[in-house]
Amino acid sequence: MSFNLHRFWAIVVKEFIQMRRDRFTFGMMVGIPMIQIILFGFAINSNPKHLPTAVYAADNSPFARTFVWALRNSSYFDIVRMARSAGEIRELLAEGDVQFAVTVPVDFSRQLLRGERPDLLLEADATDPAAVGFATAAISALTSSVLDPDLTGPLQRLRGSPPPFNLVIHPHYNPENISQYNIVPGLMGVMLTMTMVMITGLAITRERERGTMENLLSTPAHPGEVLLGKIIPYLTIGYAQVTLVLLASWLVFSVPMVGSIPLLLALALLFILANLAVGITFSTIAKNQLQAVQMAFFFFLPSLLLSGYMFPFRGMPGWAQALGEALPLTHFLRIVRGILLKGNGLAECAPDVWPIALFVIGMLALGIKRYRQTLD
């Protein structure tokens, strides 16, 4: 049978009519990508600047002040804290409150004036090598000439190379800047987000599409029973994924595992629950399985891009960071990296635990509210 233009056109017309009828899909296909292009276009920045930095100036000399001033001027560093001890610096780095910490040692200026080229310590939270790369490059370029304006008169001899002081950079937690250390544990969160949301997203819509919902509603089953009952089996799948990623991180990628694995497993439960709750809530909103998949996908994309998984979280503008803070993946990434690479305990994880818990409660409440007990 030969290709007939009329028949072909009949199909085209029919498809257009159906496309127009399915407003939701149409909106998803046109509207959401538009929003996302704008969102991600402005939010993503692989050369993050204004990274929070703490300074511990044991020697508060004009040289130290000039150096700090220069850091700020480089636009890579925002001095958010003047620390009072080395211990405070360590704490700030562990909890992820700052990306960098500068320590100006005692006697810095005296040694400098003597031409002894004292050490200046820059510590970085290098769990995500991409976040610190440009900044450390900038600071290295700065050392040779930063103090030149202060080195006048007889001090001019200290100018030039070698620079008057020695900048020591300590990339903590991932000293070799191996990006796998950051990516592989992060993948755990990404995989869970993708699969858990998708699979539970189908849960209620499948019942509705197959007509079994009417039957289920005519039984005494309550919304909470149905929703939780549908979530639980997938927890086991989630745990299987977590185990797989952990094994791969350990055996294949040799990712360091400094912290407590049981703690990670316990907190992973919360994160899996969060994603299942998103899925089940989508499932009560979507009219059919296709819509549920689309919604899952459009939840996944911001999670991937705004959580700090693909691009440094601190590179994003404030509003995008605020959006990212609302996503469970953002917090879970910090937890995973914190436990595996930094050896964080529950106390250090706590600031990222409660947002996920809040998210779970909110999502489940929304899901139960949206779950219609009648066919109205």
Partner 1 sequence: MNAIPPSAPPRSCVSADGLGGGAGAGLAIDVRGVTKKFGGRTVVNNIAMQVRHGEIYGFLGPNGSGKTTFLRMLCGLLTPDGGEGHCLGLDFRRKSSEIKKRVGYMTQRFSFYEDLTLEENLDFIARLYQIRGRKAAVQQSLERLGLAERRKQLAGTLSGGWKQRLALAACLIHEPQLLLLDEPTAGVDPKARRDFWDEIHRLAAGGLTFLITTHYMDEASRCHRLGYIAYGNLLAHGTVAQVVQAAGLTTWEVSGGNLSALADALRGRPGVEQVVAFGRTLHISGRDAGKMRASLTPFMTPALEWTKVESGLEDAFISLMETAKDNYQ
Nearer to partner 1, 46 or 373 (CB): 373
Among 41, 149, 154, 220, binds partner 1 (CB under 8 A): 220
User: What is the smallest separation between the CB atom of 339 and partner 1, expressed in angstroms?
Assistant: 39
Nearer to partner 1, 152 or 219 (CB): 219
Partners of residue 172 on adjacent β-strands: 125
Q: Where are the beta strands (DSSP E) in 106-153?
A: 119-125
User: What is the smallest separation between the CB atom of 210 and partner 1, expressed in angstroms?
Assistant: 7
Contact (CB, 8 A) for 128 and 310? no
Q: Is 235 in the site for partner 1 (CB under 8 A)?
A: no
Indicate the residue type of 328. P
Torsion on CA atoms 14, 16, 20, 25, rounded to nearest 10: 110
From CA 79, how far away is CA 72, in angstroms rounded? 7
Q: Is 232 in the site for partner 1 (CB under 8 A)?
A: no
Cis ω for the linkage preceding 52 (within 30 of 0): no
Q: Is 347 in the site for partner 1 (CB under 8 A)?
A: no
Nearer to partner 1, 6 or 23 (CB): 23
Q: Is 212 in the site for partner 1 (CB under 8 A)?
A: yes
User: What is the smallest separation between the CB atom of 369 and partner 1, expressed in angstroms?
Assistant: 16
CA-derived radius of gyration, the chain? 27
From CA 32, how far away is CA 284, in angstroms rounded? 20
Among 218, 236, 251, 318, binds partner 1 (CB under 8 A): 218
Q: Is 210 in the site for partner 1 (CB under 8 A)?
A: yes
Q: Is 219 in the site for partner 1 (CB under 8 A)?
A: yes
Name which of 152, 150, 124, 149 is nearest 139 in CA terms: 124
Among 138, 178, 217, 310, binds partner 1 (CB under 8 A): 217
Nearer to partner 1, 221 or 350 (CB): 221
CB-CB neighbours of 182 under 10 Å: 26
Longest dimension (CA), the chain: 96
Among 168, 221, 244, 258, binds partner 1 (CB under 8 A): 221
Q: Is 38 in the site for partner 1 (CB under 8 A)?
A: no
Q: Is 170 in the site for partner 1 (CB under 8 A)?
A: no
User: What is the smallest separation between the CB atom of 223 and partner 1, expressed in angstroms?
Assistant: 12
Q: Is 243 in the site for partner 1 (CB under 8 A)?
A: no
Using CB under 8 A as the binding rule, the residues of this chain from 268 to 307 that contact partner 1 are none
Among 211, 262, 318, 347, binds partner 1 (CB under 8 A): 211
CB-CB neighbours of 58 under 10 Å: 15
User: What is the smallest separation between the CB atom of 235 and partner 1, expressed in angstroms?
Assistant: 20
User: What is the smallest separation between the CB atom of 225 and partner 1, expressed in angstroms?
Assistant: 9
User: What is the smallest separation between the CB atom of 206 and partner 1, expressed in angstroms?
Assistant: 10
Count residues near partner 1 (CB under 8 A). 14
Name which of 15, 14, 79 is nearest 51 in CA terms: 79
Name which of 177, 195, 179, 199 is nearest 303 in CA terms: 195
Contact (CB, 8 A) for 75 and 49? yes
Q: Is 23 in the site for partner 1 (CB under 8 A)?
A: no
Q: Is 376 in the site for partner 1 (CB under 8 A)?
A: yes
Find where tokens 């929703």 sit: 227
Q: For the chain, how far is it from start to end, CA to CA, in angstroms? A: 48
From CA 63, how far away is CA 48, in angstroms rounded? 27
User: What is the smallest separation between the CB atom of 207 and partner 1, expressed in angstroms?
Assistant: 9
Q: Which residues bind partner 1 (CB under 8 A)?
A: 210-215, 217-221, 374-376
